[in-house]
Structure 1
Amino acid sequence: MTPETLREWWSHRQGLDGSLVGGSAAEVLAGTGWARSVGGSGPYLGLFARGRLTREAVDAAVARIEVHELPSARGCTYVLPAADFAVGLAVGAGVPEGELAAAGRHLGVTMAEIEELCAAVVDAAERAAGPLDPAALKVAVGSPVGNPVGNPVRDLGDAGRKRGIATTLPLALGLLQARGDLRRVPANGRIDQQRYGYVRWHAEPSDVDTARTELARRYFGWAAPASLKHFRWFSGLTAAAAKKAIGPLELKPVDGTDLLLPADLVAEFAEFTPAGRPHYALLAGIDGIHLLHRELARLIDPADAARPVPGGKAGAVPGAEADPPCHLIVDRGRVVGLWEFDPGAGRIEYRSFVTADAGLRAAVAETEAFVRDQLGDARSFSLDSPKSREPRLAALRG
């Protein structure tokens, strides 16, 4: 396969060719991969680009728990379909356990006190009429019904604050989410903002070995052909654990490369024929078309690799970046432009690497209307703001 055909194959597997329009949020995520969520617009943009799903439809799926934001691979938060909750919880469980171990070494936190706090939090959540935010939980676990002898939330002092853990409550919340005993609910129903309450849940994580193999099975369905290195990046597994996870899958090598394919995709891959016509999509910089491999150069033509990064440092070029400097415009898997949203003007500012034809202009206008009318902004992550992105917006306008 040529690089162009390989990119188009990845784009096809990612549903960026229009093949998933009309699918539900759960169907799109199951078929193309979990959507990375960091308090930004990425999940909404990805579901809109693939399935033309409105924000209202996605929020309704979240409310029905057909999809949900969970700490999962590498302990990072992703939006997952319900069928993957058990796998996601299991593969993410090691991170809160590691955080608790570090708090034990450096802050004198014991497992016994965290288990006591976990029990109090579960009791408070069961008694509550609705979601409790962290401030309300701190009060609730110290109530006479929940804990007659005093509040089990301990302030960790200056030493804790230096390590980013002011109290023991986040440690307990992390463990309870990983165990499936507690579910984090968006305060306003939206997954592009980081304000949450917590409710009681009864999810059952898979056992770790099964979960790792199931994660590998899903990953290579979404991202193949991909290498073991790519899978290790996504999963956070060691080399030995990753090799063990893929062992039962009988992946097939792509001749002359370190890339692997599931056996049931080998014939389809060999027979894949490019469409030969543009199909543009505007995506977040952390969309799966990039983040599943996190190898940005594979999506960029050599002629575009040395273009200046909008608003970046002198000499910064896309071909040398680990991650995109802005949101992406892609055509059949190739990055053909960069964009940001200006909420003050209600418009997308973009720089195209190709001649802007009618199809590209239509894709920009459609996404611009979606962001303006349904999202209000297209933040990259929770701390992104119009002010922080102004250098990029100014460069894109220019």
Structure 2
Amino acid sequence: MSAYLKSHPTHDGFFGPYGGAMLPPPLEPHFAAIREAYGRISKSADFIAELRYIRKHFQGRPTPVSHLKNLSALCGGAQIYAKREDLNHTGAHKLNHCMAEGLLARFMGKTKLMAETGAGQHGVALATAAAYFGMECEIHMGEIDIAKEAPNVTRMKLLGATVVPVGFGGRSLKEAVDSCFQSYLAQADTALFAIGSVVGPHPFPMMVRDFQHVVGVEAREQFLEMTGELPDMVAACVGGGSNAMGIFSGFLDDEVALYGIEPCGTSSKLGDHAATIAYGEDGDIHGFRTMVLKDAEGNPAPVHTVASGLDYPGVGPEHAFLHRSGRVTYTGADDREALAAFFALSRHEGIIPALESAHAVAFAMREAKAHPGKSILVNLSGRGDKDIDYVTQTFGFGETA
């Protein structure tokens, strides 16, 4: 593990001024138990060996890096590559931390896994882990996202999960987190709230990053083997930010430019986007301190993005810290750009990306023209099976892509 990862976060879960654990008193002992258990299990040779076995023989890791030759030729300039997390079992990077959280839950004697989900990829991954470990599973999902991501709702139910529709507030990811926390309060003795990104109270931002670190380790080794050098630029979409921290963590100690791509929605008007770092300010949400999009009353603001997995008014505290320190550059792609990238990657490479991942692809397509002779590695965090009905029914088939 790199020098940076060994020193961040602090013992109490802070990345600079961001992070920590602000919990209601009934939950404090449960999160303390999670921290203690993770501290023990993460140094256990037995845990590491079992997780490696699961990743190789169940998840299908390592996932490859693909040179996107056709897209590179189409854009001109830089050569574009993709880390293919869409080929990870269940179709996204989320299983990397869900299987590890399942192992942690078993170690703690828990019998149930529960979580929020936006696009449904975390829900599918956690339901998969629950089935693998023989546990119950409860997934909270906003009604808007249930309608947009129907294939993933079906998958969760087929895997045996109970899907709880969330119909209050904005009926999306923030409310799903609120709902799941309320349900967890009554079940904390027997359940693990397997938070789905690098967000939430300590130790989850650290723990999920560590479990996703495999993406960056693999990508770095694979890119060196393919090209003999490191990429010039690495890009990943950022909502909560787990896929981005996964791939960034492999390159933080290198002279590689890192870019987090936020969802700019349809405009810069509050409520029309979910670009937290671009338009947010310091604040608290869901038990930790980070950057937050706020309304006029100072509460988390409503958000919009074509990608359900990015529709969160906060961001992982480590991303807020990396922005503040200047190590990572955060920029954005809007709905129109993401959809154009979705169709372009499908038509020219035979890869249908998740709408979330399409934001990072859009960045690479935009930047390639300005960087001839350079290389851009995109974390293709998930595949777009879950999005095809919504996209084609709402936007057609991208005939001009």
Task: Give your verdict on TM over 0.5.
Answer: no
Q: Which has the higher strand share?
A: 2
Q: TM-score range by the shorter chain?
A: under 0.3
Larger Cα Rg: Structure 1 or Structure 2?
1
